[in-house]
Every structure is written in structure tokens, then in C-alpha cells.
Amino acid sequence: MGKYTEQAKLAAVRDYCSGEAGLKTIAQRHNVDVSSLRQWIAGYRAHSNTIKADRTPCRGVPGDVAGR
């Protein structure tokens, strides 16, 4: 089992996707490494078309994560 639950990961990704704060702020808010959050966001974007119950759009394009 990983260090973070899927629910915690999704909460952090949704928080970032809301557009209210940048990557570093969201990572601090959820007590996670910026690199972990980047990976979660990339995974969310890669699989978002297969997630039927969650229609939360995530801002930007996959490459923008590295610049935040």
C-alpha cells in the first residue's frame, strides 16, 4: 500500500485543478512533495477520459505542470 490513499491524491489533484492556487501552494496544503503532486496530475490527465464519475476539468496542458 502506498503512502497516500487514492482519495487523498484525488483531493490534491482536484484542489490544483480548481485553479485557485499554484502547484507549490497545493503541495504544501496537502503535505505532499511537489514531484508527487505533478505525477498525480499527469496520471489524472492521462486517465481522465476513462473516469466516468469525475468530470473535474484540469487547467492547462500536461506540459504546464513542470512550470508551476
pLDDT tens digits for 4-62? 999 999 999 999 999 899 999 999 999 999 999 999 999 988 887 554 445 556 765 44
In a domain, 26, yes or no: yes
Cα–Cα distance measured from residue 41 to residue 17, given in angstroms and rounded to the nearest whole number: 8
In a domain, 1, yes or no: no
Instruction: Say how many domains are in the chain.
Output: 1
In a domain, 31, yes or no: yes
Q: Which domain holds residue 48?
A: 6-67
Residue 2: its pLDDT value, please?
74
Q: How far is CA 54 from CA 49, 60, 66, in A?
A: 9, 18, 24
